[in-house]
Amino acid sequence: MQTRIPCVLMRGGTSRGPFFLSAHLPADPAARDAVLLAALGSPHPMQVDGIGGGTTLTSKVAIVGPSTEPGVDVDYLFAQVAVERNSVDTRPNCGNMLAAVGPFAIEAGLVAPGHPQTLVRIRNRNTGQLVEAVVRTPGGQVTYTGETAIPGVPGTAAPIALRFRDVAGSKTGRLFPSGARSEAIGGVTVTLIDGAMPMMLVAAADLGTRADAPPEAIEADPALRARIEALRLEAGRRMGLGDVSDSVVPKPALLGPGTGGATLTARYLTPHSVHRAMAVTGGITLAVAARLPGTVAAALATPPARPEGGEDSISIAHPAGLMEIGLWLEEGKVRWASVQRTARRIFEGHLLLPEETARAVAMAAPPLLAAE
């Protein structure tokens, strides 16, 4: 007999995945990961026996629960479930999935809605970052209908404003973990930066490619991909992350000058395929790097319209269009970064966990919540 677990499938930004209340999953990390692998249908290239979509952008999970921290409404843990491997990585954050945390928390009864909008204060447990989400709630009800369009998502929806605070040192505690704003790995100049996401930045031209190359062209070049991965592995070691061969961080980004009004052009890797748009955390980290002299990004970026200090608007050109990012720098320090996303609740009900998985989990953790 299969085990039933309450679940909501949501789109957050350009990503999609199941949302669970933390109380409905095992507290033991190994048991929890076994549930998530079964839920998504990994390992399998199509995730045909689960609800994953067969890509890194649709093989993501959000786990949300009430926070006990003063001034914080909910805790959010993000899990990147590998498609073709038995691997669940909770080291990175996902800003796109984060866009749906506010609406999910309100509709789950974790946050009391206001009118016409509701502020949800979210602590990301992957990185420790505090994020504020402003969700439209006319009449005290979440609405997903609106006129905001974001590249990579068809149609329009209600805007969700996300403001990230404490974006420096998400995993390592330092904005530049190696102590340098740029350095050489294997003869290639890179920037190793830990903003909202640990990343390795490199000029696309230094690898013999273009920052505006189609994702399929980059993925179809095995020599280029192998070189990027070799650089990434050494970058992880220098950033104090250890052996990152089985981790999705740091994320590589291939950069070039901005065109058509963009500040910068980028191709963001996840890390073994190319994002068809741009990750929120990746875009924020690129925006920070673009405004700090000495980085690979700053050398390629269009200069700011005003001197340092106050709010700056930065646009990152990616395969699906532009990501606009608001950034506030003071004396070389990031006060906050903001971005606008959308989300949608797609379905709600129960995930059915295969009997063999539930049996194995029950041996290592308390029983899962049974069907009502």
Please state the rounded mean pLDDT for residues 99-111: 98
Q: Are residues 141 and 247 in the same domain?
A: no
Q: Provide CB contacts within 8 A for 33, sequence distance 6+.
A: 79, 88
On the CB side of 241, how many CA atoms lie within 13 Å of its CA? 31
Do 326 and 353 share a domain, yes or no?
Answer: no
pLDDT over 70 percentage in the chain:
96
Mean pLDDT, rounded, for 221-243? 98
**CATH number of the CATH domain containing 74:** 3.10.310.10
The CA distance from 317 to 229, in Å, is 23
Average pLDDT, the chain: 93
pLDDT score of 371: 40
Distance (Å, rounded) from C-alpha 351 to C-alpha 17? 12
Tell me: do 148 and 236 sit in the same domain.
Answer: no
pLDDT of residue 155: 97
Query: What is the average per-residue pLDDT within 251-258?
Result: 97
Alpha helices in 154-307 (DSSP H): 215-219, 222-238, 280-290, 296-300
CA distance 219 to 272: 8
Q: State the Cα angle at 278 between 274 and 282, rounded to 5°.
A: 100
User: Is 242 inside a domain boundary?
Assistant: yes
Let me know if residue 123 belongs to a domain.
yes
Question: Is residue 207 a part of any domain in this protein?
Answer: yes
Q: Can you give the residue range of the structural domain that contains 131?
A: 3-159+343-364
Domain contains 282: yes
Task: Mention every residue, 6+ apart, whose C-beta is less than 8 A from residue 169.
Answer: 175, 177, 194
Domain membership flag for residue 177: no
Which sign, positive or negative, has the C-alpha torsion 213, 215, 216, 222?
positive
**With bands split at pLDDT 50, 70 and 90, how would you rate the model's confidence at 148?**
very high
Q: What is the CA angle 146-67-344, rounded to 5?
A: 20
Residue ranges of alpha helices (H) inside the chain are 29-40, 95-98, 101-107, 215-219, 222-238, 280-290, 296-300, 355-364
| CA distance linking residue 268 with residue 94, whole number of Å | 13
Residues 67 and 121 in one domain: yes
Domain co-membership, 196 together with 66: no
Q: Which of 177, 6, 181 is nearest to 104 (CA)?
A: 6
Distance CA 15, CA 94 (A): 9
Q: What is the pTM assigned to this prediction?
A: 0.81
Q: Which pLDDT score, from 0 to 100, does residue 170 have?
A: 85
Question: For residue 311, what pLDDT band results from cuts at 50, 70 and 90?
Answer: confident
Q: Which two tokens stand for residue 334?
A: 């990031």
What is the band of 365 on the pLDDT scale with cuts at 50, 70, 90?
A: low
Instruction: Kindly tell me if the per-residue pLDDT of 41 is higher than 60.
Output: yes
Q: Would residue 337 count as lying in a domain?
A: no
Question: DSSP letters along 292-323, please?
Answer: STTSHHHHHSPPPSS-SSEEEEEEEEETTEEE
- Clarify whether residues 198 and 112 are in a common domain: no
Residues 150 and 190 in one domain: no
Confidence of residue 259 (pLDDT cuts 50, 70, 90): confident
pLDDT category, 119, cuts 50, 70, 90? very high
Pairing, β 310-318 against β 264-268: parallel
Distance, in Å, from the CA atom of 130 to the CA atom of 72, rounded to the nearest integer, reads 8
Read off the pLDDT of each residue in 298-311 and give the average, rounded to a whole number: 77
Q: Are residues 266 and 355 in the same domain?
A: no
- The pLDDT of residue 367 is 55
The predicted pLDDT at position 303 comes to 87
- The Cα 335–Cα 253 span in angstroms is 23
Distance CA 311, CA 145 (A): 29
225 lies in a domain?
yes
Confidence tier at 310 by pLDDT (50, 70, 90): low
280-299 tens-digit pLDDT: 999 999 999 999 999 999 99
CA distance 64 to 77: 7
Kindly state whether residue 212 falls inside one of the protein's structural domains: yes
Q: Tell me how far apart the alpha carbons of residues 110 and 72 are, in angstroms, rounded to a whole number.
A: 11
pLDDT band at 335 (very low <50, low <70, confident <90, very high): confident
Looking at the structure, do residues 147 and 273 belong to the same domain, yes or no? no
Determine the average pLDDT of the residues in 322-328: 93
Band of residue 370 on the pLDDT scale cut at 50, 70, 90: very low
Separation between Cα atoms, residue 66 and residue 329, nearest integer Å: 31
d(CA 261, CA 252): 24
Say whether both 217 and 272 belong to one domain: yes
pLDDT tens-digit series, residues 6-26: 999 999 999 999 999 999 999
For the chain, the straight-line distance linking the first and the last C-alpha, in angstroms and rounded, comes to: 15
Say whether both 358 and 284 belong to one domain. no
Residue 207: what are its φ and ψ, rounded to 5°?
Answer: -110, 10
Same domain, 33 and 142: yes
Number of domains forming the structure of the chain: 2
Nearest one of 21, 296, 40 to 181, comparing CA atoms: 296
Q: How confident is the model at residue 117 (pLDDT cuts 50, 70, 90)?
A: very high
